[in-house]
Every structure is written in structure tokens, then in C-alpha cells.
Structure 1
Amino acid sequence: MSYIHGIHLEVERLEDLVFMELKAVGTLTHADYEKITPLIEEALEGIENPIVNVYLDGTEFEGWDLHAAWDDIKLGLRFGRKFNKIAIYGNQHWQEIMSKVGSWFVSGEVRYFEDSLEAISWLREE
């Protein structure tokens, strides 16, 4: 089990269009979600109907502790209707399964990719 963990977030915003790039590393904790949630709130602040596309790099992601798993569900329930597309770039079969489960919590499309360029080009499609 890795002791290095966290979520890195970069946001690009152009009017109602928001692009978020996240990288999850190690086993995420409640503290990781306490840091990331306000950043997501800030990125969406003042946009009535945002169109949010997300690129999640999960190649170094190992999972969640129990509290963080609950935080992840709450995040999906809170912001899920705002997400247009979520591309999950990963390298483990369980991540593909989680992308299908994650699609239950968002109104947009969630897809799993093993190629980062395919993921980004899918996000950029009109």
C-alpha cells in the first residue's frame, strides 16, 4: 500500500465550459476530499449551467479508504448533474468497473480508456 496519496486538480474555464484534469495517486483519504471539494466548488462558482468535461488519470490510483469512498459518492451526488463527460484513463480492470458504477451518479457520459490520447480526443468531440 502506498503512503503517497492525493488528488491534483487543474481547471480551465471558458464561459460555461469547464475542463477539469484530475490525477489521483495512491489510496485516497477523507482529507484528500476536504482539499479537492472546495476547489471544485470554486471552479463552478457563478456558472448557472456549466458544461463540465473531466479527464481523470487513474494510472497511479489504488482506491479509497472507507470515509473517502463515501466522500466520492457524495461528490457525485452533489455535482453529478453538472458533468457532461468524464474520461477515466487507467490501467486496471477494477477501474473500468468503477467507471460503470460512477456513471450512475452523473447525468453525462463516463468512459474508461487505457490510452490517454483516446480519452482526450473523446472529451474534445462535439
Structure 2
Amino acid sequence: MIQFIDTKKENLIAARLSGKLNEKNLKTVHDRIHQIIDKGHKVDFYFEMDDFEGYTLKGFWEDIKTDAAHIDDYGKMAFVGDKKWQEWAASATDFFTGSDAKYFELENKAQAMAWMAS
């Protein structure tokens, strides 16, 4: 499930992720990516992962297709979670995308949002 978080930053997609993300969930993110790109901005992401279990197979495939199509359109990425695999995923994202990606523990949500605003 994706619950979008309202922010004042025009190029930021902020969301709480929980459960397993499916293809439909990822298409809503993809639509938001296009809205930001169409305004001439790089896309920043803030993902708060609480009880996040990952992706369905189709959801994972949709995420890979979206990332491959927009890899040069991404800016900063904050991953906020409480599991080691989430920290690893943030590191892999930083390596593979060339984006500035950082991992924050859940208790450091405010620090992650402040980093996104800087």
C-alpha cells in the first residue's frame, strides 16, 4: 500500500509504504513522476517504510521498468525504515542510479525530511 504524504516541495514524491506493493501501486508513482518531469524538474523521493514487505512480482517488474526509463530524472532519495534489507536497498539504489540516496532509521524521520529540504 502507498499512502502519499503532502509536502510543499513541488518535485518531491513522499509516501509511506506498507505491505506489498503491486503493479497498480507503482503505476500511481509513475504517474506522479511524469507530472514532475513534465514541469522540468528532477524527481526527489522520500519513502517511509513501516511494515513494508517488498513487492509482488508484477510490482517489482513495474518498478524496474519505471526506474530504467527515468534513471536520469531522479534526484535525492531518502529511505526511512527499520530493516537491514531496506538499508541495503538504499545503498544499491545509490550505486545503480547515481542519485544521492540515503537510509535513515524510522526514529530519524524528521532528519530525513530535513535532508530532503536541503
Provide structure 2 residue ranges, at least 5 long, that are not aligned to the other structure.
none
Larger radius of gyration: 1
- The 1-side partners of 2:97 and 2:3 are apart by 21
Does residue 30 of structure 2 align to residue 43 of structure 1?
no
SS in 2 for 1:86: strand
In terms of fraction of residues, the more helix-rich structure is 2
Q: How does 1:49-88 map to 2 (within 5 A)?
A: 50-88=41-79
1:3 alignment counterpart: none
Does residue 4 of structure 2 align to residue 9 of structure 1?
yes
Provide structure 1 residue ranges, at least 5 long, that are not aligned to the other structure.
1-5
Aligned CA-pair RMSD: 2.1
SS in 1 for 2:82: coil
- TM-score, reference length from structure 2: 0.82
Identity, in percent, stands at 22
Deviations 1:57-106 (A, max 9, x none): 11231111111112111222222212221000101111001111222442
What is the aligned residue count? Answer: 116
Equivalent residues of 2:75, 2:99 under 8 A apart: yes
Deviations 1:16-66 (A, max 9, x none): x6122122121111121233322321232131xx23322111123111111
Q: Which amino acid aligns with 1:74?
A: K
